[in-house]
Structure 1
C-alpha cells in the first residue's frame, strides 16, 4: 500500500482536475520555503507535462509571472512564525507578500500541520459546480528530499466522509496569527471552512471510515486507541513523554531515527517489541554535510524519514493515523497538529498490507533496519539551538513598514515597538529580501528602526534576518512585513521589470494560444527570426499574434479573459508596442459579447 515506488508530488496533487481552474485555496505549513510557494501558483495554472521552462534569458519565465498574477491573490498560507527560510534574492517574491500569515500555537508549542484546501471551478459554470480538494501531508512547503506521506481527498457527489474539522483548524489559525489578518483572508478562510462543513469526500480505496482530528487548538484527549492487538509507529521524532503520558502501552514495532531512539530511556525502549531505524542511505549524506546553521534553522534540508504513521489492528479491523504529529508529548499537547484516521479491514489496511511490497516492487519494510542500540559515545540529538528560540521570539514581534518618497526614489522604514532579543555575543543583521547588498547591523535590546533606500521594483514586504553567535552558530530567516503607503503603480512597475521586454510576452502569448500540436511551432519560428527581420516585436510578431488571437476569440474566449489583467497592466505602464493594447481591447470586447450570446 505504501510502496516506495508509489509517489505523488505536492505539485501534482495541487494541479486542478481537467476542465476546472482554481477559485481559492488555503494552506498551513510548519516550515515555508518561498521558492516552493512560488511554484504552487504555477502548478495551479499549468497542468501540462512540461510545466514551466526557462527561456534562457535569466529572467523569471513569463508563464510563472502569469500564474502569479492569476493565483497569488487567491491564496492564504499560514506558517509557524520564525520558520520562513531565507531564499535567494528575487524580486518576484513580492507577489507573495500578501499571501503569507505567520502564526503561533495558543498552547505554547508550534504550528505544525501541513494541509491544503483547494476549491476549483469551471471557467463558465455556476457555483454549484465547484469542487473541493483537501491534501493532508507530513511534508512542509519546502523542497526537502525526505520520505513523507500525502493523502489527497476529492469532493464527491454521492456521500462520503466529512472534513469539517479541517475548516475548524483554519478558522482557529485566524486567531493565532501574529499580526491582524486582512478582511480578504478572513473571508476566504470562512468561505472555505463553511464549504467543508457541508461537503463530503470520496473515500480512498480500501477505506470505509475516515475522520480528521485537530490537536492543540484546545485541550482534547489523544485520538489514538488505548489498546490494540498489534501496533506500528513510524515517527522521525520520538520523546519520552509520548510513551509515559500520551500512549503508555507497549508498542509492537517502533521505527524512527537512530539518534532519536538513542535518546529514549532504556526502560522505554524495552516497551517496544521491535525497534527499527529507517535507512534509505541518506543519513550518511546528511552527516557529511557541514554547516554552521542552528539545529532547527528553517533552511536546513530534511532527508530520510519524515512521514508519521500510527497503525493499529483490533478485532479484525485496522486503523491508520497519518498527518503531522510525531510520537512526542508536544505533538499531542502543546502543538497545533492534524491527524487523519482511516479505517478498514486487515486485508485492505492492515500493517502487513501497509508495509508490504510485491514480487517486482520494493516494500516500505525494506527500509526498516533493526536498531542496534546506542554506540559507546552516542552523539547528542540536536536540541533547541542557541539562536532557534531567539528567531521564533523575534518573529512573534509586530513589524511595520512605512513607504515614503525619497530623493533617490523611495524609502522603506521597518519598525517594531518591542525590542529585538538575542543571546549575548550575537550579531543581528537585516535587509530587504530583494536587496541583499543593503545589509544593516542592528542592536539587540532595542526596538528596530531601519530605513532602506529602494526603488519600486526592489521594494520588499519580506525582511531578511541573520543572527550570528560568536560560537559560529547562525540562523537565517524571513519575516513578512505589511507595507503602508505603497504606490499604486508598484505591481505594474515590478511586472514590467520582470517581463524584460514585449518580445518575451509575445512569445508566451503565442505558446499559450497555440493549441494544435500538429502545427509547426509558431514559437520556434519566432525564436528563429533575427532583429533584422522586422522592426522589433511589433513587426515580425504581429501577424502570428493576430491570427492566434482571432482563432482563440472564436474557439476559447476564456483564455483571453485569463490574460486580460496581465495585458491591461502592461498597457497601463506603456510596456506594449504601439497599437497592441487597442487591438487587444477590441478582440477582448468581441469575445465577451460572443460569450454572452445564447
Structure 2
C-alpha cells in the first residue's frame, strides 16, 4: 500500500506528503523514497546497492515527506546505518493531548504538475509504517481541490492536519509548519469521493484532537445489522455498539482479546470469529520476526436500505472512543443491496467476499492469568518507558581533535527493579551501555545522530522493552551530510555517477535505479572522466533549473576541501564546474526577478 499511495499519477510529481503512524520502522522510511521512485518492491538491503541514488532521494524527501509518529513508537533498527541520520528531518515525534497514544494512520499527499491543478490523495488505514505482515485495511481516495468553498465532510481531516504541529514533542521549524498548514487548507477545500458503489464524499472523524475530550464518540445513527472488527476490545465500547444496533451482530477479533472479556459482554453477538491458524501461518521462515495477525479496524452498520462503513485506526477500546488516544476514522455510505444480489455494499457482500473464510468460530478459552510478580514487572517496565519518553534527555556532540564525542545527557528517574541500556542507533547494540548519565561514545562525524536506542529490562522472566527516541540534539555540524557522502563517494567514477543522477533530479532517477538506458547521464563507468556528457548535463541543468546547481556547489567545495578531494573531483572537472557555476551565478545576480522568471521560462520552452 505504501508504495502505491505515494506513487504520483501520470504527469505529476510529489510536492509534499504528511504521514502519521503509531509505530515506525526506520528501514521502511529509508526504503520508501527509492522504492517509490524506482517503482520497486525490493527490500532495503537490495535498495542499498544503489546508495548514491538512495542518498539523494533521502535528502530531497527530507524536505517533502513529513512523518508524525508517537514519541515512543520508533523501533530500534536491526542494522546500524549512517544513512539513518538523514531521516531526522522527516521524523517528528508527537504525543496525545489527553495522555493516551498518538494512533492515527493517515497519509495525505499533494501532487503537482506543470500542466494541471494540484491533486490530493488521502489514505486512512489501520496499518503502521512497519514491516508487519498483519491483516490490515485501507481506504484511499484522490481528487483536486474545490477552490470555491470548504467541504464539510473534509473538515475533520483538515483539523487533524492543523493540529499536528501543536502535538510535536519538539518544536517544528516555521517552514514545516507552513507546509502542513497549507496542506490542511487545501484539504479543507477538497471533496474525496467514496469508492464505487458508495454515495457522496468520504466523511472524516478526528478523535482526541482537543484537550480534555472525554465524551464517547458516537456513530452517526442506529442500525439493524452490525459488523465490528478490531484486534483490541473493551467491554464498555462493545456495549455501546450493541445499544446502537439490532441483530444480527458479528464480531471479529483476536482470541486473547475475546478471552479477556467477561462472558456477558459476548452474549449479545450472534457470531464471533477469530482468524484461523492457516491465516496466521508464516509462509517464509525469514519473516518470523514480523507479526502476522489481525490488525484491521472497521465497523459496518446497516440502517434501512443503507450501510455505513467506518475505517481507520480506532480499536474498539475505551481509550480510542473517548478521545484519550488521537485517532482518525473515515466513513462511507452506500446501498446495502438485496439478499442474494451481487450488488450493494452491505455486510452480506463482505461475508461473501472471502475474508470470513479465513476465520473460524471463536471458542471461549480460559482468561489468561498472570503471575502477580510478572504483572508487577510489566508495570515497572511500562513506567520506565513512560519516564524515558517524558524525561529530560538530550544528545550533545562535541569535536575532539579529528574525531567527535557523542554524548547522552540529562536526567530521568527510573523505578526500582529495572535496568536500562542505551546506545546511538548508528552503532551496533554491542556498544550499549548502562544508563548512567552522562554517557559518551567516540564516533566519526558520519555516525552522529539524534536517534537513541533504549533497552529496558526487569528483574523477572518477561520480555524487555525496546524502543528508539528522537531526542533534542545540539552540536551536530551541518557538514554531517557531506561526511556521509564521503563514505559513499570514494572515487571519480562514483562521484560522476552521483553527480549525473543528482542533475537529473528525482524525476529522472528511476531509470538509473532500474538499470535502464536513456539520457546522457546514464553512462557506464568505462566512460571514465569524459567531460562532454557531463558538460551537456550541467548546461541543461543550468538552463532549466539553475537553483539545482546550489547543492552541487556545496558538495563539490566540501569534497575538494578534504585531503582526498582532488582525487575524487579532478582539477579539469573542477575548473569546468567553476566556469559554469560562475556564469550562472553572475546571470542570476544581474537579472531582475521578472527577467529571471522570463529567462527560465524561455529555456524550459526551448530546451
Shift of residue 269, structure 1, vs aligned partner = 0.7
Q: Structure 1 115/389 Cα, relative in aligned 2: closer, same or farther at 3 Å? A: farther
Shift of residue 245, structure 1, vs aligned partner = 4.7
Aligned to 2:25: 33
- Corresponding residue SS for 1:113: coil
Q: Structure 1 581/309 Cα, relative in aligned 2: closer, same or farther at 3 Å? A: farther
In terms of mean alpha carbon deviation, does 218-227 or 555-564 score higher? 555-564
Shift of residue 520, structure 1, vs aligned partner = 9.3
Maintained 8 Å contact 2:298/2:310: yes
Q: Structure 1 34/560 Cα, relative in aligned 2: closer, same or farther at 3 Å? A: farther
Q: Map of 1:77-226 to 2, 5 A cutoff?
A: 77-87=67-77, 88-122=79-113, 124=114, 129-156=117-144, 162-209=153-200, 210-218=202-210, 219=213, 220-225=215-220
- Distance in 1, matches of 2:358 and 2:177, equals 44
- Distance in 1, matches of 2:368 and 2:43, equals 46
Q: Among 394, 397, 407, which residue is 2:391 paired with?
A: 397
- Distance in 2, matches of 1:425 and 1:378, equals 24
- Distance in 1, matches of 2:308 and 2:134, equals 24
- Distance in 2, matches of 1:301 and 1:541, equals 44
Q: Structure 1 554/80 Cα, relative in aligned 2: closer, same or farther at 3 Å? A: closer
Shift of residue 113, structure 1, vs aligned partner = 0.3
Unaligned runs of 5+ in 1: 1-8, 292-299, 358-362, 530-539
Maintained 8 Å contact 2:242/2:268: no
Shift of residue 487, structure 1, vs aligned partner = 2.2
Shift of residue 195, structure 1, vs aligned partner = 1.7
Normalised by the length of structure 1, the TM-score is 0.82
- Corresponding residue SS for 1:132: strand
Aligned to 1:426: 418
- Pair 1:387 & 2:381 matched: yes
- Distance in 1, matches of 2:20 and 2:8, equals 19
Aligned to 1:477: 467
Shift of residue 52, structure 1, vs aligned partner = 8.4
Q: Among 278, 282, 287, which residue is 1:281 paired with?
A: 278
- Distance in 1, matches of 2:72 and 2:516, equals 50
Q: Map of 1:399-414 to 2, 5 A cutoff?
A: 399-407=393-401, 409-414=403-408
Shift of residue 307, structure 1, vs aligned partner = 0.7
Report how many aligned residue pairs link the two structures: 552
Q: Map of 1:62-73 to 2, 5 A cutoff?
A: 62-73=52-63
- Distance in 1, matches of 2:270 and 2:487, equals 62
Which digits, 9 at most, give the CA deviation of each residue in 1:407-431, with x for residues without a partner?
4522233223x42324x23221111
In terms of mean alpha carbon deviation, does 406-415 or 425-434 score higher? 406-415
In terms of mean alpha carbon deviation, does 13-22 or 177-186 score higher? 177-186
Q: Among 482, 493, 497, which residue is 1:503 paired with?
A: 493
Q: Among 2, 15, 19, which residue is 1:23 paired with?
A: 15
**More helix, by proportion:** 2
- Distance in 1, matches of 2:110 and 2:154, equals 14
Aligned to 1:337: 327
Maintained 8 Å contact 2:423/2:433: yes
- Distance in 2, matches of 1:263 and 1:35, equals 34
- Distance in 1, matches of 2:556 and 2:168, equals 35
Shift of residue 178, structure 1, vs aligned partner = 2.2
Shift of residue 263, structure 1, vs aligned partner = 1.1
- Pair 1:352 & 2:320 matched: no
- Pair 1:439 & 2:432 matched: yes
- Distance in 1, matches of 2:427 and 2:517, equals 44
Normalised by the length of structure 2, the TM-score is 0.80
- Distance in 2, matches of 1:568 and 1:434, equals 25
Which digits, 9 at most, give the CA deviation of each residue in 1:299-337, with x for residues without a partner?
x74312111110011110010000000111111111111
CA RMSD in angstroms comes to: 3.7
